[in-house]
Chain A
Amino acid sequence: MNKTAERVMPIVFGIAGIALWQASVWKFQVPAYVLPSPIAIVQAYISDYGTLNAALLSTLTVTIAALLASAALGVALALAMAASDLARAAIQPWAVILQVTPVVAIAPLIIIWVNQPFLALVVCATIVAFFPVLSNTAAGLAATPRDLLDLFRLNGATRLQTLMLLRLPAALPFFLAGLRISGTLALVGAVVAEFVAGSGGFASGLAYRILEAGYRLQIPRMFAALVLLGLAGIVIYAALGLFSHLMLRRRDAA
């Protein structure tokens, strides 16, 4: 399959799916409160785009804050784990426990403990998102080529020199791959936290608008919010992919 076909196929598949969806709703007269048609969803968005866009911005603010926090926390913990076997032994199981615990289960506690709603949402999303950065960066730091480490030793490099000049640059592709996964997880985390917080949270994110639309049986509006979430996820994933590509190309370009 050539490159152009590979790029066009998802769009063709998407358009075909939407056309089939629209046709099915028309053909079987499906009520909008069960499954709104794509046209009804677009109409719902147009009639309420101010609120929905503001909600998207709010969710994205939490997502980006959580992504930055995840990157900082993940790298810091990975560095600690790379620096000492004891630190690795101490941190690793707790990082895994935090990763496998459903955020839905601990979000109510976090929302109670952290008094500030925005901060509470960021903490929840960070818990969901930080693990890929941590595990990838730790793997990258551990995968530094042995010969280069030997070369640094032979030339009397300090630990700090080895870290700054070799281990961190060598781990960059691993970190960027982790960041890309964390980006979409941060969005998931932000939405889950907004759902749990409900009106007690930030009360302005997309998840809150989905809940609100659900309570009012405004199903097309609910779907419009869902579509915005999906698009936001795709944009975050693609943007981080582009960022990663540009960073590595700039670093390694001849």
Chain B
Amino acid sequence: MIKVSGVSKRFPNGTVALDAVTTDIGRGDFVALLGPSGCGKSTLLRLIAGLERPSEGQITWADGAPKPGEIGFVFQDSTLMPWASAAENVFLPLKLRRKSRAATAGDVQAALAQVGLTDFANSKPAALSGGMKMRVSIARALVSRPKLLLMDEPFAALDEFTRHRLQEDLRDLWRRSGNTIIFVTHSIYEAAYLATRVQVMSARPGRISATIACDIADTADRRTAPDYIALVKQLSDMLRLEFST
């Protein structure tokens, strides 16, 4: 679906954030980009989204460059507009593409239902908890049925209980919708729990140092499954080795 070929990113201040990154993202993949802070994960996400241009290399899409609304982006903060209700925030991507409110009311309701916030459609962000705000942010990214969902450490600022709930819900959502997701995280546990494939990134300049398939059976006790624990250990060892050299 997306082919990243030899992509490097050098900022005007001389910082090289990414160096010759090559990877393929297939349709329906749930890819986790795992690495420590500052290794260029978010930069790679922004390059794929088209928010930055690569200094070298190219990013090609199998179906041609995405049109507005075909990429859903969830940021680290919920980035809701405080003056708009949850439903208005979710409606925003459709509004920007001049869709009528009446014609898309069903889509907005469906997106809110997907994240379990039907009853909070008219609440402003000030009345929502951190986890609920993030759910609205996810609904906003889903409302235009994007080809690709990019998520930049969306659960990093949440408490552990909320984070676990949202991880479970996101995985459910992905299983039901078959969305393609690229998820940036610095948590080994999160990457191993969520993704079908983990791409480990090395420290600056960022490179993809390993790609690991996650073949863990989809059971209710996934977090305690031996495969999951083995994967966490493998990723831990890999990162320790990566940063000890």
- Chain A positions within 8 Å of B, measured between CB atoms, are 145, 147-148, 150-157, 161, 165-166, 169-170, 172, 251-254
Contacts and interface: CB of A to CB of B under 8 A. Distances in A.
Contacts of B83: 169, 172, 251-252
Interface string B200-220: 000000000000000000000
6 contacts: A161-B96, A172-B83, A252-B82, A252-B124, A252-B126, A254-B126
Contact of A254 (B77, B97, B127): B127
6 nearest A-B residue pairs (beta carbon)? A156-B68, A254-B127, A155-B96, A147-B79, A147-B75, A251-B83
Contacts of A254: 123-124, 126-127
Contacts of A161: 96
Interface residues of B, number: 25
B238 interface: no
A254 to B, nearest CB: 3
Given A148-B81, A166-B81, A251-B83, A157 B127 contact: no
B97 A155 contact: yes
Prevailing SS type, chain B contact patch: loop
B213 to A, nearest CB: 29
A154 B49 contact: yes
Contacts, number: 59
Given A148-B79, A155-B68, A253 B96 contact: no
Given A254-B126, A254-B127, A154 B68 contact: yes
B92 interface: yes
B188 interface: no
A165 B95 contact: yes
B57 interface: no
B87 interface: no
A152 B140 CA distance: 12
Nearest to B79: A147
Contacts of A147: 75, 77, 79
B93 A155 contact: yes
A150 B50 CA distance: 10
Contacts of A152: 96
Contacts of A169: 81, 83
